[in-house]
Amino acid sequence: MGLKAALSKPFAAFTVWQINKWKKNAVEAQNKILQNLVKMAEKTAFGKDHRFAETKNYQDFKENVPIRDYEALKGYVDRVVAGESDVLWKGKPLYFAKTSGTTSGVKYIPLSKESMPEHIKAARNAILTYIHETGKTDFVNGKMIFLQGSPVLTLKNGINVGRLSGIVAHHVPGYLQKNRLPSYETNIIEDWEQKVDAIVDETISEDMTLISGIPPWVQMYFDKLSEKSGGKKIADIFKHFSLFIYGGVNFEPYRAKIEQSIGKRIDSIETYPASEGFIAYQDSQKDKGLLLLADAGIFYEFIPSDEYYNEKPTRLSLGEIELETNYALVLNTNAGLWGYSIGDTIKFVSKNPYKIVVTGRIKHFISAFGEHVIGEEVEHALLTVANEEKVEITEFTVAPQVNPEASELPYHEWFVEFSSLPKDMISFSKKVDQALQKKNIYYFDLIEGNILQPLIIRTLQKDAFVNYMKSQGKLGGQNKVPRLSNDRKLADELEVYIV
């Protein structure tokens, strides 16, 4: 056992002891965070506009601070971007995390000197809790790779701007730098395909023990590794590869193909980082729930997703939530985001401790006929049947077809890229439809009432989604394919890839 591996165990034990202190008193931790956030931002422009000096409790806060998305908060953000101090948070941000918005164009998410360390601490603690639970430390001595955006930063009115993963690369602890790949020269390559080729060249002969990234782009890396090695499994290329860390999308649609590429099942840790804050991570290999980080500079609010578009939706704090209810997630952060709707939906699977699973995006749903089908439901329907029939899915998305051929009923159209095809596509489609009916009573009623016909699956060519993302300039990085849409924009683009 190397020195780093030996030292990691007592460090992990101490970290878990610290985590357990707030984990057992998460609601109390959240109340303290709200008080601290309001106090620290009292003299900012936002704090003055929203009566922070008179805000004594959560009820006051809800009355004074409305729910906003980026577009609604943009007036304040623009002032920060222009170089003004004390607008949303005291002083100026350390960074802006640059993201692509669907309606806002480029979004600039502030990262402060208070919020940035929480991103680093959460990523570190996800690994330390794993070490403490499993006792496994061998991976610490090998090489680690984080598939991420370019670390090159630009300046905007004196503030560094970049992708979150690129910003984080500047804060990797010194004790990990020697183990970490790819090199800076490779990491700054902007073209994703060229970058992955360079990463393959740089890593194929290394002793990779930990690999981290968004699953579809990790799969691309694995495919290129296998191709270059003459078809070898990843476990044969990297003999000591033992831990996969992922986030950004639900892993389940990718699990079968990634595990097949690896050649064995290995431990994995799911994380839930966002530019707005590091929200949760899997702290145990015994369950899939993600520990909500209740003591990380973020005060969370939860809106029942079926009320999200109401004029005055219910807003709940952590102590008021119910299990197995779909909530839209709202953040108030120590970087100056207030009543900020992040766009994700989650549900709680545990209250002791508070653990969540991510269920989708509040804007990613199908309700062309009032069915309000969400991402969690389509993933469950497809994967349940695929697992039963040993069918492998590479990627998929779903859209409504409201104007079918003459005399046809409308339907949900599924665009699926298979790694291995079903033996009987008609039977497979029927089973997926039945699984979705069981998950969503409104969809069931529409099928039963002959308002909709059962879903139709379109088989797509190999690499259809990679080629589509490439055509949109969204290949790699933190970009993801939406699981479902309430319009035909993505569906129409994918029609050229139908087999």
pLDDT > 90 in the chain, percent? 70
Residue with tokens 């699956």: 457
**CA angle, 129 then 318 then 356, to 5°:** 45
Q: Which runs of consecutive H residues, i.e. helices, occur in 143-211?
A: 164-168, 174-177, 184-187, 192-203
The model's pTM: 0.83
What average pLDDT is seen over the chain? 91
479: helix, strand or coil: coil
pLDDT tier, 329 (very low <50, low <70, confident <90, very high otherwise): very high
Please check whether residue 111 is in contact with residue 335, taking contact to mean a CB–CB distance below 8 angstroms.
yes
Cα–Cα distance between 368 and 167 in angstroms, integer?
40
Query: How far is C-alpha 490 from the geometric centre of its chain's CA atoms?
Result: 20
**Of 191-195, 279-283, 394-398, 461-465, where does mean pLDDT reach its minimum?**
191-195
pLDDT > 70 in the chain, percent? 97
Can you give the pLDDT at residue 403?
84
Can you give the pLDDT at residue 103?
45
304 CB neighbour count, 10 Å cutoff: 17
By the 10 Å C-beta count (0-12 exposed, 13-18 middle, 19+ buried), 473 is classed as exposed
Please check whether residue 435 is in contact with residue 447, taking contact to mean a CB–CB distance below 8 angstroms.
no
Q: Please say if the pLDDT value at position 104 is more than 80.
A: no
Cα–Cα distance between 243 and 265 in angstroms, integer?
10
Can you give the pLDDT at residue 102?
45
Q: Which amino acid, 19?
A: I
Q: Go through 38-51 and write b for each residue having 16 or more CB atoms within 10 A of its CB, e for each that does not.
A: bebbbebbbbeebe
| Better pLDDT: 76 or 288 | 76
372 CB neighbour count, 10 Å cutoff: 16
pLDDT tier, 363 (very low <50, low <70, confident <90, very high otherwise): confident
Domain boundaries, the chain: 365-497
pLDDT tier, 361 (very low <50, low <70, confident <90, very high otherwise): confident
Q: Which fold has domain 365-497?
A: GMP Synthetase; Chain A, domain 3 (3.30.300)
pLDDT tier, 289 (very low <50, low <70, confident <90, very high otherwise): very high
Q: pLDDT per residue over 482-499, tens digit each?
A: 888 888 989 999 999 999
Q: What is the 3-state secondary structure (H, E, C) of 396-420?
A: EEEEEECCCCCCCCCEEEEEEEEEE
Please check whether residue 474 is in contact with residue 149, taking contact to mean a CB–CB distance below 8 angstroms.
no
Cα–Cα distance between 64 and 58 in angstroms, integer?
10
Q: pLDDT per residue over 408-417, tens digit each?
A: 999 999 999 9
Please report the sign of the dihedral spanned by the C-alpha atoms of residue 9, residue 11, residue 15, residue 17: positive
Check residue 215 and report its DSSP letter.
H
Q: Which amino acid, 39?
A: K
DSSP 3-63: HHHHHHHHHHHHHHHHHHHHHTTHHHHHHHHHHHHHHHTTTSHHHHHTTGGG--SHHHHHH
Determine the longest span between alpha carbons in the chain, in angstroms: 72
**Of 26-40, 81-95, 316-330, 440-454, where does mean pLDDT reach its minimum?**
440-454
Strand 143-146, strand 208-213: pairing? parallel
pLDDT tier, 105 (very low <50, low <70, confident <90, very high otherwise): low
Q: Please say if the pLDDT value at position 3 is more than 80.
A: no
Cα–Cα distance between 494 and 63 in angstroms, integer?
45
Which pair of tokens denotes residue 367?
Answer: 């309700």
Find, among 119, 120, 129, the residue nearest to 11 by Cα.
129
Q: Please say if the pLDDT value at position 477 is more than 70.
A: no
Can you give the pLDDT at residue 2?
65
- Region 358-386: mean pLDDT is 87
- Region 348-366: mean pLDDT is 90
- Region 58-77: mean pLDDT is 96
Please, which contacts does 382-385 make with residues 24 or more away whose CB atoms are closer than 8 Å? Answer: 382/253, 382/414, 382/416, 382/432, 382/435, 383/252, 383/253, 384/435, 385/428, 385/431, 385/432, 385/435
Please report the sign of the dihedral spanned by the C-alpha atoms of residue 94, residue 73, residue 326, residue 383: negative
Can you give the pLDDT at residue 374?
85
> Nearest 5°: phi and psi at 68?
-135, 150
Q: pLDDT per residue over 127-165, tens digit each?
A: 999 999 999 998 988 999 988 888 899 999 999 999 888
Q: Please say if the pLDDT value at position 230 is more than 80.
A: yes
> Nearest 5°: phi and psi at 402?
-90, -15
Which pair of tokens denotes residue 347?
Answer: 């549900």
Can you give the pLDDT at residue 1?
56
Please check whether residue 314 is in contact with residue 371, taking contact to mean a CB–CB distance below 8 angstroms.
no
